[in-house]
Structure 1
Amino acid sequence: MRRGAQLAAACLLLSACGEAGEGGSQPATVVARHDAGAMPAWLAPDDRTDPALWLAARAAGRLVPAKDPAVARLRAALARAAPRFIKDPRMIANRTAQVLDMLHAAGLPGEAEPILDGLMGIAAAAGARQLYGSLGQHYVNTRIAGAAHRDAVDRLSTKYAPQSLKQP
């Protein structure tokens, strides 16, 4: 009897799952397990995690307290970055993480705060809001080509500076 009840419950669950995904009138139900002790790999559009806290935890390889000085520094850097870029702080944090992943995959050092500051400097030299992802990719390419952080920022600032002359 118990096995029969389990089978019936499984069939009911499976039939309910099929209806939502095939144009049924009910919205799909998503069941997710969230480990409160782990940070997500990326910040989703509906994620309410503080981007600075997420970046600091990612850099530390563990959860960090919200009052950690690294979180405060990253929060300030993201606030300074927001007016320079078209993306919001969540996406800037995600793209910063991608830049760090690409650098580390190439065997190069990198930290979030200097990268944020460097890319902000490049955007400032351009004199217009920029796409953070594009600047980040140019930065990574320049670093992989052999430039140190400061040299990469200086080269890209020079390259992007003529854009400010084109603005009315």
Structure 2
Amino acid sequence: MTPTRPLLALALAAGLAACDRPEEPAEAARAPEDQTVVATKSDADIPPWLSPTDPMEPARWLASRELGRPAPEVGSQADHLRHSLARAKDAFIEDPRMVANRTVQLGQMLAEAGTPEPYADLLDGLEAVAAVTTRKQLFGEMCQQYYNTRRQGADRATALARLTERYAAQGSGDQTPAPGPSPGDAR
């Protein structure tokens, strides 16, 4: 082997290694507007869960999840879910995005248990339960109670009736405290 071959091999290896080096400092220092990210997600990609940064409206996402394909922005199903989620803001502590996620979760759990229900029916039924009290409720907790009641063998109407009875017993949350001791009582 001649002395130039090792030098040539070394030069070639150094040149190839330079291809893997990180970007130049000038490129890294470019302004963020020069590094615009282009969305590559098509409308057909319906995320399994709606994150806080997802641009899709919760009602449309919920309709799309149920259909298994993108739902139109306007239409009876999306419109119905939009109104249901608007009412849910008054009944539940969670925001519409979280209510939509929990509705899908409950729907999936029920379907896996062999008792599927449409998302709109789940949402409307649980809103009716929450309406019997004036306090805002935890939607996730109510979903779990509904699921457990259904898994115990209750049908939809019976499960909703049991939850309504349970939540009605809570009343408005304005219970008067028990009277304290009177000033003349011995301690």
TM-score (norm 1): 0.80
Q: Give the Cα separation in 2 of the matches to 1:63 and 1:153.
A: 30
Q: Give the Cα separation in 2 of the matches to 1:4 and 1:111.
A: 62
Question: Paired residue for 1:50?
Answer: 57
**Larger relative contact order (CA 8 Å, sep ≥ 6):** 1
Question: Paired residue for 1:76?
Answer: 83
Instruction: Please tell me whether residue 88 in structure 1 is matched to residue 95 in structure 2.
Output: yes
1:114-153 CA-to-partner distances (Å, cap 9, x unmatched) read 1111111111123310000000010011111111111111
Unaligned 5+ segments in structure 1 are 17-28
Compute the displacement of 1:167 (Å): 1.9
Question: Paired residue for 2:130?
Answer: 123
Task: Decide whether the 8 Å contact of 1:127 with 1:161 is kept in 2.
Answer: no
Task: Decide whether the 8 Å contact of 1:126 with 1:157 is kept in 2.
Answer: no
Letter in 1 for 2:67: A
Question: Paired residue for 2:22?
Answer: 12
Computed over aligned residues only, the root mean square deviation of the Cα atoms, in angstroms, reads: 2.6
Higher normalized helix content (fraction of residues): 1
Q: Give the Cα separation in 2 of the matches to 1:67 and 1:157.
A: 32
Question: Paired residue for 1:159?
Answer: 166
Report the 3-state secondary structure (helix = DSSP H, G, I; strand = E; otherwise coil) of the residue aligned with 1:73: helix
Task: Decide whether the 8 Å contact of 1:127 with 1:163 is kept in 2.
Answer: no
Residues 42 and 8 of structure 1: CA distance in aligned 2, closer, same or farther (over 3 Å): farther
| Percentage identity across paired residues of the two chains | 40
In terms of Rg, which structure is larger?
Answer: 2
Match among 123, 140, 147 for residue 133 of structure 1: 140
The structure 1 segments of at least 4 consecutive aligned residues displaced by more than 4 Å after TM superposition are 3-7
Letter in 1 for 2:107: L
Compute the displacement of 1:35 (Å): 3.7
Task: Decide whether the 8 Å contact of 2:106 with 2:147 is kept in 1.
Answer: yes
Aligned residues: 152
Task: Decide whether the 8 Å contact of 2:43 with 2:70 is kept in 1.
Answer: no
